[in-house]
Amino acid sequence: MIAMAGMVTTFPIPTRRAALLAAAALAGCAPRAAPPGPPVQAPGEVADAFVMADGMRLPCRSWRPVGEPWAVVLALHGFNDSRDAWEIPAPDFAAAGVALYAPDQRGFGATAARGLWPGADALADDAAAMAGLLRRRHPGARLVLMGESMGGAVLMRLATRGGSVPGDGMVLLAPAVWGRAAMNIFMQGGLWLVATFAPGLTVSRPPPGVRIVASDNVEALRALGRNPLTIKATRFDTLRGLVDMMDLALAAARQWGALPALFLYGAKDMVIPPAATRATWLALAGKRVRRSFYPNGYHLLLRDLGRAAVIGDILAWLRDPSGALPSGGEAAAAAWLAATPPVSAAR
C-alpha cells in the first residue's frame, strides 16, 4: 500500500486521476472477511457436500468401507488445503472399516468466498454441525473428529469454548498452536503492521532464505502444489485470522475438559515450532489427552512416507482409547518432552 501510494504521487498525472488511483489502491488494501450469513435452514446434506445453516455449501469427499463402519471420522484439513488432503491415508481407514468424511472448510477449497477468513467460531460451528449430521447418519458408530494443523486448531477451539461436542473424541495432527505468545516481537509486529495497513496484500512463499519442508513425500507435496483447490496466495488479513485461531488453540490447552484426544507430532515438523507444541503438551498434563511422537515425522504426518505407523496408532486409539499405541510413540513423546528444554515458545 505504501509503495502504491508512492507511485501515485511520483508520476505527473492529473489530480482527479491520481485521486481515483489512490482510492483504488486503498480499496485493494481494505480488510475483507466472509463471516456466516443469517440462518436460512437447518444444516443438511446434499450429494457430495454439507450445507450449513446460512446456505454455505461445503464440498466433501468420503471414503467408506464395505458394509456399515464401526467408526466414523470427520477430517478437517489444514490452512490453504482442501478436502483432497486425505486422499493418501483415507483408503487405509476405509480398509479397516472406518468411514472418513473430508469437507472443504469454509473459505477454502471450492467453497464460496474462497481465500477470505470466516472467523474462528464460524469454522468451529461448521465442524459441530457436520459432526452432528454424521452422528445422525451413523448412529451406531464411534464418531471422532480429526484435524490436521489448522483443522486441529479448529477442533481445539470447538472442544473448549463451551457446550457439548458431538463426538466421542478428537485426533489432533500437529495442530496449529503457534499463537502470538509463541512468536517473537518482530513477527507479531510485522503481521499487525501489514494486516492493519495493507490487509489485501498477499504472500505466496516463505521469506528469502527460509526453507520449509512439510513432508518427506515429495510426490505428495507436488500434488498439493498442482491441485487447483490449494490456495497459493494468502491475504494478510486471512493470516491474521489464522493467528487469532492459533491463539485460541494455545489457550484451549489450559481449558481442556474431559474429552479424550490423541495429539500427534513429528520431530521434523518445520511448520509448528517444537517449543509451541511442548508448551501445549505441558498445559494438557493430567487431561484425557494422549501424546504420540514420531522421530522421523514431518508436519503432514498422514502424507509422510512413514505414515503407516501414524495410521496404525490412530486406528488402535479408535478401537481402544486407553490401549497401547503400536508405534511406541507415547514413550517417545514422554522422552522428547523430558529432553526438550523449558524455553520460551517463541522462535
pLDDT digits (tens, 9 = 90+) for 191-234: 444 444 444 555 566 666 668 899 999 999 999 999 999 999 98
- Distances 201 to 191, 198, 237 between C-alpha atoms, Å: 11, 6, 8
Task: Determine the angle formed by the axes of helices 15-28 and 2-10, rounding to 10 degrees.
Answer: 170
Q: Does residue 47 carry a pLDDT above 60?
A: yes
* Cβ-proximal residues to 302 (8 Å cutoff; 6+ apart), any chain: 86, 88, 89, 148, 173, 310, 311
d(CA 73, CA 145): 6
- Each domain of the chain, given as residue ranges in start order, spans 31-339
Band (164; pLDDT cuts 50, 70, 90): confident
- Per-residue pLDDT of 114-127, as tens digits, reads 999 999 999 999 99
CATH architecture for the domain at 31-339: 3-Layer(aba) Sandwich (3.40)
The mean predicted confidence, pLDDT, of the chain is 85
Burial of residue 279, with CB atoms counted within 10 A of its CB: 0-12 exposed, 13-18 middle, 19 or more buried = buried
pLDDT at 32: 79
| Residue recorded with cell 511406541 | 328
d(CA 28, CA 91): 43
Of 157 and 191, the one with more pLDDT? 157
Residue 34 grid coordinates:
466472509
